[in-house]
């Protein structure tokens, strides 16, 4: 848990909840002898974060973290979203309003530690942004057309304009008989689900009214854009590791780590 002058002190908070429709008790899923949430925290500890904390909704998650030397907090079970859980964790940790907090998803056991640093650094460098996140160039038309691969477009200052499950930007002249023969240039961007926030914005965010666009696309980050907040985007060359949503994903990650 080292720090340097080039990277401001920041905290990583990993929300972890037991209820998962597709993979029950997901945070405790065994990956090479360790619970998944512990694997995620160990990766996060390879970043320059001052502290890495799991925000759990179940005492069993806290216990599993304790057994492996990972700091964990018990948060309320009735939070409607991960950002509500993050906001409570920030309060419990007593973080200052301007403290930078990186939300690492609890189902990303192969998260790339330098990406955590980049997202935190970007927010610290962009005072006009309330949040920062990451993106990666899409390489296949299959991913471009896949509604489970979230796309984003940004402006010249690398601030997000929009996030969508639809293929954006829509290549008007590239469409051939209902599909793209190849991808537009520059390559469209895939959103990577990692965010940095300031603790003060995290306390405000859950109180913002849900946005119609957020409800339609089922993308919570659209709430921030709807209410006029800026999201800075770090474009990484490092492809995101597979997340774990299903038993098939879990098997794939176990193979990769073996």
**pLDDT tens-digit profile of 234-253?**
999 998 888 898 889 999 99
Q: What is the mean pLDDT of residues 21-34?
A: 90
Query: Do strands 71-74 and 51-56 pair parallel, antiparallel, or not at all (unpaired)?
Result: parallel
pLDDT in tens, 181-219: 788 889 999 999 999 999 999 999 989 999 999 999 999
Spatial neighbors of 97 by CB under 8 A, at least 6 apart, are 198, 199, 200, 203
Q: What is the pLDDT of residue 243?
A: 86
Helix/strand/coil for 25:
coil
> For 219, phi and psi rounded to 5 degrees?
-135, 110
The residue-averaged pLDDT of 16-38 equals 90
User: Over the stretch 72-114, which tens digit does the pLDDT of each residue have?
Assistant: 999 999 988 888 899 999 999 999 999 999 999 999 999 999 9
Judge: domain 10-257, CATH 3.40.30.160. no
Q: What is the mean predicted confidence (pLDDT) over 40-47?
A: 97
Return the beta strands (E) in the chain as ranges.
10-16, 30-31, 34-35, 51-56, 71-74, 100-103, 131-137, 151-154, 160-164, 189-198, 231-235
Q: Hey, what are 115's tokens?
A: 């990406």
The pLDDT tens digits for 120-175 are 999 999 999 999 999 999 999 999 999 999 999 999 999 999 999 999 999 888 77
The whole-number average pLDDT for the span 226-240 is 95
The SS3 call for residue 162 is: strand
* DSSP states along 195-243: EEEEHHHHHHGGGSPPPHHHHHHT-TTHHHHHTT--EEEEE-SSPPPPP
The pLDDT score that the predictor gives to residue 178 is: 63
**Predicted TM-score of the model (pTM):** 0.92
pLDDT score recorded for residue 213: 96
């Amino acid at each position: 848990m080292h720090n340097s002058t080039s990277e401001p002190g920041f905290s990583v908070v990993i929300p972890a909840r037991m209820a998962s429709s597709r993979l029950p008790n997901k945070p405790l899923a065994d990956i090479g002898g360790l619970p998944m949430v512990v694997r995620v925290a160990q990766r996060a500890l390879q970043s320059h974060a001052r502290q890495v904390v799991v925000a759990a909704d179940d005492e069993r998650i806290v216990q599993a973290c304790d057994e492996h030397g990972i700091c964990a907090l018990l948060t309320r079970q009735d939070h409607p979203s991960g950002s509500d859980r993050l906001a409570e964790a920030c309060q419990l940790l007593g973080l200052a309003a301007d403290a930078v907090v990186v939300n690492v998803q609890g189902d990303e056991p192969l998260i790339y530690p330098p990406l955590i640093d980049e997202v935190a650094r970007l927010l610290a460098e962009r005072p006009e942004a309330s949040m920062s996140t990451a993106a990666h160039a899409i390489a296949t038309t299959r991913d471009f057309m896949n509604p489970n691969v979230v796309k984003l477009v940004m402006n010249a200052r690398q601030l997000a304009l929009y996030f969508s499950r639809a293929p954006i930007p829509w290549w008007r002249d590239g469409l051939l008989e209902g599909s793209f023969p190849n991808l537009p240039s520059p390559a469209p961007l895939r959103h990577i689900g990692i965010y940095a926030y300031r603790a003060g914005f995290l306390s405000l965010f859950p109180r913002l009214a849900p946005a119609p666009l957020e409800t339609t696309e089922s993308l919570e980050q659209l709430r921030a854009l709807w209410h006029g907040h800026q999201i800075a985007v770090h474009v990484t060359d490092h492809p995101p590791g597979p997340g774990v949503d299903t038993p098939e994903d879990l098997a794939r990650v176990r193979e990769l780590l073996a």
